[in-house]
Structure 1
């Protein structure tokens, strides 16, 4: 038996290695800091592998610069003592600069960034972050109170950075929620990864500038970004027509889910992008869209698109026309697009050659649709063709029977039924149909994304969702009850007279109802009865409101928003009520929106309006012609208007921007009598609409009243005016302000008589 002796020098070397390893582990240090000064001191001392821990609590006005150099094995870390319990509020933000940095566990809320970003992967234009990660952070309604002051929530610069498992919800001011910037050479071909994030509801912005994610800009769109966007959940991201705007090349957008989100994933600029394995679930919600293709070499493969209602640039699927020899910021021709193995289930609109006009005249070429499944339960063809599509070939696609399908070859019609598989997606039950999305696709769910320790709340409080508060008649009774009420509560007014001597500020979601319809009678002695401000929404049911006790001054308003600068969208509804005697002096209005205030919806139904010297709805404050407007949906149905001096509707959206869906006006089954002829009615119309995208005016009676005036601007507006009766009322006037052509409104079955 032999034994081998280890030389003494080798024993010493092994011992030295163990000592070095032990000392390197001991050297990594946690720095628990409780003040901003303590943080700055720790930042100067940390070494690779160290961790700065922010103590639990609220850190107000804390502009964090996390700067240093870690290594792949020993990154520098900044984290929370307890995830979710470190709140950055007020004027706070975070900047990273250096290499191998990791930030986690922080929450930004109750404030807004003082700079261009809430989180920036750079300290300044010269000091960027590389090989760094931000994970498990929350940015919750951290929006600038100036609605049109622009910022990003996350700005990705540098190379090889990752943003993951985070929760971003409620961006309300102008600017992209997350932007990948390519404005320097150091940030191009960046190989960033954006994954497993919860992009929570982003409300309708009512203007351009409401994208959720943008990769690049038109200036650098011919550069490659090489960014991967995968396994994220886009939940009701409704800001504008582009949910994701890709403006660079060689990006991959993989396995993301889009839930009831208005708009599209748009390949706006840049070439060679791949869109694969994504799921779009519209559930029939208005303006839900899918994918829009522009530029060269785009690949759209194995995506599932279902129950999408969007049209035009917000369609379920769109291939655009381009501009010949396009400048970098316009529309490059679609060349060599590959669209294969996708499922289009109950998609209302697939548009080919979209945007075709005198400028956008370059039709798609060298492109191919293959092995796709098209199924519409109503048998209506989704295809609309706007130009020559001989440059798009259709091969081995399958559909059910589609009426008036403009695609005459390359789509095989088959009898099929669909059934839901274990992954929640619909597939043909017939074994011989093997096209469309793969059966092993696993959609990203809401639970797969974001953080486990922060609730994914619903974005709005519903009316009548709280407690019921009984209110007896008396002086300032409504004012006092509103002060004590909580979000979602209902104030139930007993029969009697309510005299309000204070402006009732609505800063929560409230319903005000009469126990006996129209027997709760309200007067007010201020210039306004209700003022809707941020976080306020109001539902009125069954009240009788008189302006007879209002002050003797011009421009009184029964309901108004904050006069300027609301950040939070609001809702207003009124049913079964009487509004009368708004006659103290002239120009006494019913509802007046302030500038930069935006309503998701305004609905009035079954009401009586009589003896009013001003306008009913003044939604015309955005006169700077930047595509901004005051309400998305205005619905006026089954009402009576008599002796109204001003317009029933004055709705304005100016400019030539095409990135929004509204406004929408529905004016149905109303009676307008002896109205809108006051000399102070500057619109000279009972219904005046400028720049709205969707207008439906039907089954109304206009008697001895001013006419309807509609001014079309841009965006291919849809206007339908049918089955109305006009007695001693001038004819409808529809004008195309920009298009050199007859108006596109549908006017049908309207009757005129003297």
Structure 2
């Protein structure tokens, strides 16, 4: 009887399983209403297929209780052919849920995340997966409105083989949230994703990946970040910000990416087998070490130019008895078997100051390979480094005295391996006494490729601004013809204007990459009857060449500009180049600027070259709209070379970055070979400066002539700014005025070979 019962029970289980499998359903839906009609009834094993098409304002909630054998799935009919646009998002809640094949573009999330692994604070997703999803330029139009593209909650979730590119508004691209025990020790996997271009944000809030927050940083996340590619993820100094413990970051590749992988908070993280290829790009960095028990091993770093907190490698000083949101002392860091090839800066004790006075302790720097083709040794020590033991490292340059016992100097010819990485062909007699076979990364180190990450059906393209990529459109000196040509032009087109004079009756909107040039240099004059001639909008980039630009027909009102951005609300970074132009008669009323940035607008590059500016009642470049002192600014790179400036009431440039935030790269100013005559003396020039720089991080003023002008005024704020004022002539002009607004002691600017023929009048 018992045997018969057991046989019956076995048959019942099989029949039940078959019945359960048979009960799984497949739904094909083509609208939000159709989806919502079935969403609350999904069971384990059910599949939902979204038919190809564009779904606008579709907030998807995938909720249910799947199982490991029978997950609930949501996928596109054809991967890449289901577009979520407008105000759409995706939330997952429950367990064993899987989503794939969707594309988010042409819109932005109406909630705090495009994809959230939770329904609400009480209902996370566990054991769930999002794979082969694209989020492309899906940014809130208010660049200071913060959101995530992906927020991971719950436990044991996987985010893999996705493609994320073009986040332009504030907020972390992917965030692992640790808000309570239900989300800690989560064992998430973030793997094989393509993190594409993220433009420089121009303030804090531009991280690509963050694991935790300072509030929960003493908790463990146990998240693994494996085999992802980060290409030109340039948002801010921290590409990856680790703010929790026991995480593994392994096998990731960073391509021309400005910033660093930063162990900002949390202990006992492991960073291994990662590849950083800076390709000599400005501000490309590697790894920054803070806190206890960090292991950094078998990482390959090459062609990195960054310095200070963005260096190729940085070990920071901490704050004694640090509060949870500051800098904990480096303790028991194990830095072994890494290769530093043409890395410009390795900084130890970085950030040392009155507050950050706790130098690293109980740490090891061993078996590392350092090679610089320039033969410049890369180390800078900012504090006592006796708490770091240096052992069995090999370099091709002579080390500084404090490190010499831990390094062997040797000739290190490099050989490129099959994986594309350089290894040193060590010359044994020259490294006698060192166990060189164990120095640097393993020769068989695996390097993930672009074809291994993201999706195969969406292009991995980094956008470029090319002013001559399109066709040439020749127009006569006629306003209507010029306006029509601009309206019909495509990205990269060149509009060439025949000789003559044009009075433009309307503001010319620039919402594409456009070059406007004269058919015969200086034979075409543009004047304008509105408060601006050109206004740059999102997606706009403008180059002006060989033109005469006049304010003679402008309104008799204050605050005109030849070029301006939208007054507020720009999302896209832009480029402005002006070359070989004559700018004149911007004097019909006061405060007439050549260029005015709107609030929130951000330029990747502004360049003035070989121009003549004469008769301006305002500033040439007004880049000072972010006055709240939050570390925000209006332009990353400003280049002013070989121009003449005469009779300018305001400054040649007002460049302002307020606050004490340390997370940005710029602003940068390069001003060389210019002649300034009678610049800066207008009564409305509040700074009484010919050049006004506040909080600028990198400034070079070289070979300029200042005649009968106001001084250069420089205010240093934070970030150990680099200011060099050299080989300039000040004729009847006060010398530069430089202040350290927060740091004690004398200013840090380099002043060499400047000539003054008049004593300072201040």
- Measured against the shorter chain, the TM-score band is over 0.9
**Paired residues of 2:228 and 2:453 also in contact (CA < 8 A):** yes
2:369 maps to 1:365 = no
The answer (yes or no) to whether the contact 1:320–1:354 under 8 Å persists in 2 is yes
Of 561, 570, 583, the residue aligned with 2:587 is 583
**CA-to-aligned-CA distance 1:461-515 (integer Å, 9 cap, x gap):** 4221111111121123322211000111111222222221111000001111222
CA distance in 1, matches of 2:480, 2:419: 56
Output the CA distance in 2 between the equivalents of 1:13 and 1:183: 45
Instruction: Spell out the pairing of 1:20-39 with structure 2 (5 A cutoff).
Output: 20=16, 22-39=18-35
Aligned alpha-carbon RMSD (Å): 1.6
704, 707, 711: which one pairs with 1:707?
711
Looking at structure 2, the residues matched to 744 and 563 of structure 1 have their Cα atoms a distance apart, in angstroms, of 35
Q: Is it true that 1:83 corresponds to 2:79 in the alignment? A: yes
After superposition, the C-alpha distances for 1:628-666 in whole angstroms (9 at most, x for unaligned) are 000000000000001111111111000110100110011
Segments of 5+ residues of structure 1 without an aligned counterpart are 1-6
> Matched residues in 2 for 1:475 and 1:309: separation?
47
The within-5 A match list for 1:10-49 is: 20=16, 22-49=18-45
Deviation sequence 1:556-613 (CA, Å, 0-9, x none): 1100000012110000001111111112112211000000000001011111111111
| TM-superposition CA deviations, 1:111-169 (whole Å, max 9, x none) | 11111111000000000100000001011111111111111110000000000000111
Give the secondary-structure state (helix, strand or coil) at the position aligned to 1:297: coil
Measure how far apart 1:325 and its partner are.
1.0
Partner of 2:431: none
Per the alignment, residue 4 of structure 1 pairs with: none
**Residue of structure 1 equivalent to 2:646:** 642
Match in the other structure for 1:664:
668
Q: What is the CA–CA distance in structure 1 between the aligned matches of 2:238 and 2:40, rounded to whole Å?
A: 43
Residue-by-residue CA offset, 1:203-257 (whole Å, 9 max, x unaligned): 0000001000000011111110000000000000111110000000000000000
**Correspondence for 2:372:** 376
Classify the secondary structure of the residue corresponding to 1:523: strand
| 1:310 aligns to 2:306 (yes or no) | yes
Deviation digits for residues 384-439 of structure 1 (CA, Å, limit 9, x no counterpart): 01111111011111111236565221111111211211101011123644310111
Distance 2:496 2:402 in 1: 57
1:455-604 paired onto structure 2 within 5 Å: 455-604=459-608
Instruction: Measure the CA separation in 1 of the matches of 2:508 and 2:480.
Output: 9
Q: Distance in 1 between matches of 2:207 and 2:536?
A: 27
For the 8 Å contact 1:383–1:406, the answer to whether it is kept is no
Give the Å deviation of 1:614.
Answer: 1.3
Structure 1 residue aligned with 2:322? 326
- How does 1:274-285 map onto structure 2 within 5 Å? 274-285=270-281
Q: Distance in 2 between matches of 1:49 and 1:96?
A: 16
Which of 394, 398, 402 aligns to 2:394? It is: 398
C-alpha separation between the residues in 1 aligned to 2:196 and 2:231?
A: 5
- Residue of structure 1 equivalent to 2:145: 149
Aligned: 1:116 with 2:112: yes
Range that drifts further, 485-494 or 68-77: 485-494
Note the C-alpha offset of 1:343: 0.1
Q: For 1:329-348, what aligned pairs fall within 5 Å after superposition? A: 329-348=325-344
Give the corresponding residue for 1:3: none
Q: What CA distance in whole angstroms lies between the structure 1 residues aligned with 2:386 and 2:132?
A: 49
Q: Is the 8 A contact 2:127 2:155 kept in 1?
A: yes
The answer on whether the counterparts of 1:235 and 1:259 sit within 8 Å (CA) in structure 2 is yes
Structure 1 segment 46-445 matched on structure 2, within 5 A: 46-402=42-398, 404=400, 406-430=402-426, 432=428, 433-434=436-437, 435-445=439-449
Tell me how far 1:20 sits from its aligned partner: 5.0
Contact 1:381/1:405 (CA < 8 Å) preserved in 2? no
Q: Does 1:724 align with 2:720?
A: no
Give the Cα separation in 1 of the matches to 2:68 and 2:277. Answer: 39
Q: How many residues align?
A: 748
Give the whole-Å Cα distance in 2 for the aligned partners of 1:16 and 1:185.
Answer: 39
Distance 1:619 1:182 in 2: 39
1:40 Cα deviation after fit: 1.4
Alpha-carbon distance, 1:15 to partner: 7.5
Residue 297 of structure 1, CA deviation: 0.5
Deviation at 1:541, TM superposition (A): 1.1
Aligned-pair distance for 1:14? 8.5
Structure 1 residue 455: Cα displacement: 1.2
| Residues 423-432 or 78-87, more deviating | 423-432
Distance 1:431 1:382 in 2: 22
Q: In structure 2, what is the Cα distance between the partners aligned to 1:251 and 1:183?
A: 17
For residues 352-391 of structure 1, the C-alpha deviation after alignment (integer angstroms, 9 at most, x for no partner) is: 1111111111111110011110001111110001111111
Q: Identify which range, 299-308 or 354-363, moves more after superposition.
A: 354-363
Q: Is the 8 A contact 1:674 1:704 kept in 2?
A: yes
Q: Does the CA-based 8 Å contact 1:476-1:499 persist in structure 2?
A: no
Counterpart-to-counterpart distance in 1, 2:450 and 2:417: 19
User: Mapping of 1:601-750 within 5 angstroms?
Assistant: 601-750=605-754
CA distance in 1 between counterparts of 2:682 and 2:5 reads: 106
- Aligned mates of 2:253, 2:540 — CA distance in 1: 31
Q: How many Å apart are 1:60 and its aligned residue?
A: 0.9
User: Structure 1 residues 9 and 695 mapped into 2: Cα distance closer, same or farther (>3 Å)?
Assistant: closer
Query: Offset at 1:8?
Result: 11
CA distance in 1: counterparts of 2:113 and 2:81, whole angstroms: 22
CA distance in 1, matches of 2:578, 2:90: 44
1:47 Cα deviation from its structure 2 partner: 1.6
Q: Is the 8 A contact 1:477 1:498 kept in 2?
A: no
Equivalent-residue separation in structure 2 for 1:279 and 1:611 (angstroms): 53
- Give how far 1:44 is off: 2.6
Q: Secondary structure at the match of 2:120?
A: coil
Q: In 1, distance between residues paired with 2:214 and 2:494? A: 50
CA distance in structure 1 between the partners assigned to 2:11 and 2:328 by the alignment: 66
Counterparts of 1:143 and 1:598, CA distance in 2: 15
